[in-house]
Amino acid sequence: MTTRDLVLIALFAAIIVFLGIIPPITLGFIPVPITAQSMGVMLAGCIIGAKRGALAYVLVILMMAIGLPVLSGGRGGLAILAGPTAGFIAGWVAGAYVTGLLAERLVNEAQSGMRQTAGFFIASLIGGIGVVYLFGNLWLAFVTGIGLEKAFVGSLAFIPGDLLKAGIATLAARAVLVGYPLLPQRA
Partner 1 sequence: MLRSLYIEGNTPFHRLPVRVKLITLMTASIALFFVSSLQILVPTFVTTLCLYLALGLPWREAFGRIGWIAFAIAIVALATWYFNGLHEALALTFRLMALVLLAAAITATTTISAFMDEITVMLQPLERLGLMRAADVSLALGLVLRFVPEILDRYENIREAHRARGLPIRPLTLFVPLIILTLKDADTIAMAIDARGFRRQ
Binding footprint of partner 1 on the chain (CB under 8 A): 1-4, 6-15, 17-18, 21-22, 25-28, 34, 36, 43, 47-48, 59, 62-63, 65-70, 73, 75-85, 140, 143-147, 150, 154, 168, 171-172, 175-176, 179-180, 182
Q: How far apart are CA 22 and CA 71, in angstroms?
A: 11
Nearer to partner 1, 32 or 81 (CB): 81
Measured from the CB of residue 55, what is the shortest distance to partner 1 in angstroms?
Answer: 8
In the complex with partner 1, which residue's Cβ is closer, 13 or 50? 13
Taking the least distance from each CB to partner 1, the nearer of 35 and 108 is: 35
CB of 65 to partner 1, least distance (A): 8
**What is the Cα–Cα distance from 94 to 80, expressed in whole angstroms?**
18
- In the bound state with partner 1, the residue whose beta carbon lies nearer, of 31 and 145, is 145
Please check whether residue 152 is in contact with residue 137, taking contact to mean a CB–CB distance below 8 angstroms: yes
Quickly list DSSP for 40-70.
HHHHHHHHH-HHHHHHHHHHHHHHHHTT---
List, as one string, the DSSP characters of 84-116. TTHHHHHHHHHHHHHHHHHHHHH--TTS-HHHH
- Closest CB 183 distance from partner 1, rounded Å: 11
